[in-house]
Structure 1
Amino acid sequence: MEKLNELTTLKMVEEFLENNEFSFLYISRPECSTCHAILYKLRELLGHYPLIHLGHIDANKVEEVAEKFLVFTVPIMLLMIDQKEYIREDRFVRFDRLKKKLDQIYDMYTR
């Protein structure tokens, strides 16, 4: 299961993105039941991609994240490579489709 980095300030988010070439941001809220279910599956999936680092942001604690990443609903999942967005998934994630996208991008960058 992928290690989860809790990012509690916008500065921490920015440093996380700067320090990790492959960053996956998971933005959620504690009162979102969908968020809890998806996080478990996401951590399991990302365990297959050792270069991708997972950062979790509580949108209630880091309110600026909504503006910075154009977040209108939670959960939001963003794959960032060199601080650029490559994948964006929201509330209704199809994990089979997400895995295919991750496989393609990961293979392209790690060959």
Structure 2
Amino acid sequence: MKEVTELISLDSIDNFINNHKLSFLYISKPECVVCYAVLPQLRVLLEQFPSIKLGYINANNVEEVASKFSVFTVPVLLLFIEGTEFVREARFVHFEQLEQKLKRIYQLYKD
């Protein structure tokens, strides 16, 4: 499964996004039942895309993340390319559709 970097502050989130051409943020809360199902599936899916780096944010520990990224529910999945948000999925994720989006984007932007 894809390696996950835990991000514990807004600075670490900004550094993660800025230091990776393709960065994927996973925002969740421990009490979220859906989050438990989504993260393992996401880690498996992202194995296909080695250049995409995955960061995890516990929204309870980094409360400012909600306002920074306009997060109203969890989980939220955000793909950034060179610091710009390209894909946003929230709550119920359709993995087949997400995989197709990622394949198209990855072909254009991979190293």
* In structure 2, distance between residues paired with 1:19 and 1:31: 30
* Pairwise CA RMSD: 0.9
Aligned: 1:68 with 2:68: yes
Residues 32-91 of structure 1 show CA distances to partners (whole Å, capped at 9, x for unaligned) of 011011000000000110000000000000001001100000000000001100000001
* Paired position in structure 2 for 1:39: 39
Q: How many residues align?
A: 111
* Paired position in structure 2 for 1:102: 102
The aligned runs of 1:57-96 (5 Å cut-off) are 57-96=57-96
The runs of 4+ residues in structure 1 deviating greater than 6 Å are none
TM normalised by structure 2 equals 0.98
SS in 2 for 1:50: coil
* Paired position in structure 2 for 1:3: 3
Q: CA deviation at 1:108?
A: 1.2
Unaligned runs of 5+ in 2: none
SS in 2 for 1:43: helix
* Paired position in structure 2 for 1:50: 50
What fraction of aligned residue pairs are identical, expressed as a percent? 51
TM normalised by structure 1 equals 0.98
Unaligned runs of 5+ in 1: none
